[in-house]
A and B are shown apart, each in its own frame.
Chain A
Amino acid sequence: MSELRATVEHVFRQESGKIIAGLIRVSRSFDLAEEAMQDAFTAAVAHWQLKGVPDNPAAWITATARRKLIDYARRERTRRKNEDALLYVGELRCEDADQDMSLPLEDDRLRLMFTCCHPALNEEAQVALTLRTLGGLTTEEIARAFMVPEATLAQRLTRAKRKIQQARIPYEVPAAERLTERLAAVQKVLYLIFNEGYLASSGDGLVRRELCTEAIRLARVLTELMSGNAENIGLLALMLLHDSRKEARCSVDGQLVLLEEQDRTRWNRGQIAEGLVLVECALRRGEVGPYQIQAAIAAVHAEARTAGETDWKQIAALYGVLAEIQPSPVVALNHAVAVAMGEGMERGLKLVDRLGAEGELDSYYLFHAARADLLRRMGRNAEAAESYRKARVLTDNAVECGYLDRRIADIEG
């Protein structure tokens, strides 16, 4: 029984996004599709126990869920027998489509991605809906990962689904003239999911790990479905290269280990190898974009066997490119730090202070932490401690606080 349960769970994780994407196309309803799929999985547990697991479990689930949809339509029709005929239009389509729906279409997941990440939905809703439908995460899991009450998240999902239905957000891959902009929204949602899993160090570790895995899986799907897009490849590469360091960036007692101090033998070589190939492949297309540049930066780090071997000049040059195509104070700060590491602390600090004078970064803890690091490397300990303290006030993340406290303690030893 437990073996069967594991099989069902595996099918769910691997195939539910694909299955539900097809069911939504046919039923034109997120809710009906979800209900039908859940019923089909419940039926699978009972049925497979008696008759064994079918050769193609996903096809079995799809066929069963489709029959459920037809049942719902009939049930609904009986219930509303004497009501407005217009009401049945949506349900009738269910049966009409029965003929042509053998298996989900490849494009269904792409349609679903664009619908879940439609700019008419707010960003939180986009993320939640993507994880719920394409990722097959439960409402409870998503709530736990984002540290919001389950009821809040459930409401967020309900509202989003209602808006899709009522405002008629289309279930389609956008037309060419909107594609670039809308694809950027999809990429951003996947990146947000990854970062939520990667950066935030509080909350339930396991669920957070799951977010990274899910983001990578979805980025892979996106890359497969729209293989011609260099930024899709860049995004996948970026995620893989960051994720490759996950074992090394946290010490056994849960403290943050900086890139410079990480045990590089613990980096995931498989992920690095794949990431490097993807970066190359994306850049060769000659359509440079922010994800590719960030992936290229991660690649330079990945290629250095020790922190000392890092090619900071190349990293500084890449941040220079990034600052041109996607200017932001944070990118400028990273550029300044790379310059400090590659061309000398004095020059870097000058750039950092020039940024600081603009005032925008004053409430950003990483600005003060980065400035403090440069000062520490220059041996200007009193000033470094002061900057670490400024950073300390600006974050309440336990891991970051721990890191800053250690730095201050080291200096003042």
Chain B
Amino acid sequence: MMLIYSREDEGASEEELRGVATAHRALMDETKSKGIFLAADPLEPTVTATTVRVDRGRVMITDGPFAETKEQLAGYYILDCENLDDALSWAARIPTGCQGGVGCIEVRPIREMSRTAHS
């Protein structure tokens, strides 16, 4: 799974954002044609975020994202990659300007549910 973390920059121009969207569409098409595309979605900005935390049975709901960092989760890809090097190559090609500013990609394996259910 490739999590896109991006700086939210309201000052980004329409044109810049259109460019990012076009690049995403191209990458999705390419990974689909290779048969490794599983899912990808953009997220609304963090002003729409709500954090849910359960502490000893008590549900606590707070406004905004959990961490006060400059880069926020902006979207994700799920690709079926052979190994980490393969995943890192794809990750390097994911545009990170989704929320206007520059960003980075966090790559993490998805845990296989069958494995956790049984062990």
Chosen A-B contacts, 6 in total, with CB atoms closer than 8 Å, are A83-B118, A84-B115, A86-B115, A120-B88, A167-B108, A170-B85
CB atoms of B84 and A168 under 8 A apart: yes
Interface contact B114-A120, CB-CB below 8 Å: no
| With A166-B109, A167-B109, A168-B109: A120-B84 Cβ-Cβ less than 8 Å | yes
Residues of A within 8 A of B118 (CB): 83-84, 87
Enumerate B60-98 residues with CB–CB distance to A below 8 Å: 81-88
* A83 and B115 alpha carbons, distance in the complex (Å): 10
- A169 near B84: Cβ-Cβ < 8 Å: yes
Assembled-state Cα–Cα distance A168/B80 (Å): 12
How does the 8 Å CB contact mask read for A146-189 relative to B, with 1 for contact and 0 for none?
A: 00000000000000000000111110001100100000000000
CA gap between A239 and B8 in the complex, in Å? 48
Q: Please give 12 more A-B residue pairs, beta carbons under 8 A apart, in addition to A167-B84, A167-B107.
A: A84-B115, A84-B117, A87-B118, A120-B84, A167-B109, A168-B83, A168-B84, A168-B87, A169-B83, A169-B84, A169-B85, A170-B83
From B88, which residue of chain A is reached at the shortest CB distance?
Answer: A120
Kindly list chain B residues whose C-beta atoms are within 8 Å of the C-beta of A168.
81-84, 87, 109
B114 nearest in chain A by CB position: A84
B87: A residues at CB distance < 8 A: 168
Cα separation A87 to B83 with both chains bound (whole Å): 18
Q: A83-B118, A84-B118 are in contact. Are A178 and B85 (CB under 8 A)?
A: yes
Query: Do residues A87 and B84 form an inter-chain contact, with CB atoms below 8 A?
Result: no
A116 to chain B, nearest CB (A): 14
CA distance A244 to B67 in the complex (A): 53
The dominant DSSP class at the A interface is loop
Chain A residues contacting B115 (CB-CB under 8 Å) are 84, 86-87
Q: How many angstroms from the CA of A71 to the CA of B81 in the assembled complex?
A: 31
Q: Which 7 A-B pairs have the closest CB atoms?
A: A170-B83, A168-B83, A169-B84, A84-B118, A167-B84, A168-B84, A83-B118
Residues of A within 8 A of B81 (CB): 168
Which residues of chain A have C-beta atoms less than 8 A from B82's C-beta? 168, 170
* CB-based nearest B residue for A85: B114
Chain B residues with CB under 8 A of A120? 84, 88
Using a CB–CB cutoff of 8 Å, the interface residues on chain A facing chain B are: 83-84, 86-87, 118, 120, 166-170, 174-175, 178
In the bound complex, residues from chain A placing their C-beta under 8 Å from that of B86 are: 170
Complex interface: chain A residues within 8 A of B117 (CB)? 84
CA distance A167 to B110 in the complex (A): 9
Q: How far is the CA of A84 from the CA of B108 in the complex (A)?
A: 24
**A118 vs B107: C-alpha distance when bound (angstroms):** 15
CB-CB under 8 A from A166, the residues of chain B are 109
Chain B residues contacting A174 (CB-CB under 8 Å) are 85
Point out which of B87, B112, B118 has the most chain A C-beta atoms below 10 A from its C-beta. Answer: B118
* Interchain CA distance A118-B118 in the complex, whole Å: 31
CB distance from A198 to the nearest CB of B (A): 32
Residues of chain A within 8 A (CB-CB) of B107 are 167
Across the interface, which residues of A come within 8 angstroms of B88, CB to CB?
A: 120
Query: Contact: B114 with A170, CB < 8 Å?
Result: no
* CA gap between A86 and B115 in the complex, in Å: 8
A86 close to B114 (CB less than 8 A) = yes
User: What is the distance, in angstroms, from B78's C-beta to the closest C-beta of chain A?
Assistant: 15
Min Cβ gap B26→A in Å is 20
Q: Which residue of B lies closest to A165 (CB)?
A: B109
**Closest CB of chain B to A249's CB: distance in Å?**
41
Q: Which residues of A contact B112 (CB under 8 A)?
A: 86
Closest CB-CB distance, A172 to chain B, in whole Å?
Answer: 8
> What separation, in Å, do the CA atoms of A401 and B83 have in the docked complex?
49
A86 to B113, CA, bound (A): 11
**A84 / chain B contacts, CB cutoff of 8 Å:** 114-115, 117-118
Q: CA A175 – CA B83 in complex, angstroms?
A: 13
Complex Cα gap A118–B84 (Å): 10
Alpha-carbon distance between A168 and B117 when the two chains are bound, in angstroms: 21
Closest B residue to A83 by beta carbon equals B118
B118 to chain A, nearest CB (A): 5
Docked CA distance A178–B114 (Å): 34
Query: Which chain A residues border B114 with CB–CB below 8 Å?
Result: 84, 86
A170 to B112, CA, bound (A): 18
Provide the bound-state CA to CA distance between A166 and B83, in Å.
10
Q: Nearest-CB distance from B89 to chain A (Å)?
A: 8
- A170 surroundings in chain B (CB, below 8 A): 82-86
Q: Of all chain B residues, which has the CB nearest A169?
A: B84
Residue of B nearest to A182 (CB): B85
Q: Please, which residues of chain A bring their CB within 8 A of the CB of B108?
A: 167
CA separation between A178 and B112, bound complex, in Å? 29
B92 to chain A, nearest CB (A): 11
Per the bound structure, the CA–CA distance linking A249 and B114 in Å amounts to 59
B2 vs chain A, min Cβ distance (A): 13
Instruction: Output the nearest chain A residue to B107 by Cβ-Cβ distance.
Output: A167
